[in-house]
Amino acid sequence: QKEVEQNSGPLSVPEGAIASLNCTYSDRGSQSFFWYRQYSGKSPELIMSIYSNGDKEDGRFTAQLNKASQYVSLLIRDSQPSDSATYLCAVAYTGGFKTIFGAGTRLFVKA
């Protein structure tokens, strides 16, 4: 069983819609959760972090965490074509040095 699992997609949504990206993780000891965005040929870029159960909002992005279900999600409101990228879910221990990444979900936003 992979430690961090994501649907590889591609997920296709029309411009202006809400994109919903999901992630599950296997280690119940995980404490820190991250979403990275990666454009084709580029390195990953941190866009959201979440540490407590519930929702965390930052602009058009909302991260949701449910530790009991070992589930993390990212919602992108008012999706734009520029949001088209691969979104990587990652988990870590607070104070830890190693982050475990999922394989990513490819998102296409159609104009």
Partner 1 sequence: DTGVSQNPRHKITKRGQNVTFRCDPISEHNRLYWYRQTLGQGPEFLTYFQNEAQLEKSRLLSDRFSAERPKGSFSTLEIQRTEQGDSAMYLCASSLVPVGDYGYTFGSGTRLTVV
For binding to partner 1 (CB under 8 A), which residues are involved?
A: 4, 8, 31-32, 34, 36, 42-46, 49, 88, 90, 92-104
Min dist CB 2 to partner 1, Å, is: 10
CB atoms near residue 87 (< 10 Å): 25
The neighbouring-strand residues paired with 14 are 110
Min dist CB 98 to partner 1, Å, is: 5
Q: Would you call 82 helix, strand, or coil by DSSP?
A: helix
In this complex, which beta carbon is closest to partner 1, that of residue 2 or of residue 15?
2
In this complex, which beta carbon is closest to partner 1, that of residue 9 or of residue 17?
9
Min dist CB 10 to partner 1, Å, is: 12
* Separation in Å, CA 9 to CA 53, 75, 96, 107: 26, 15, 30, 7
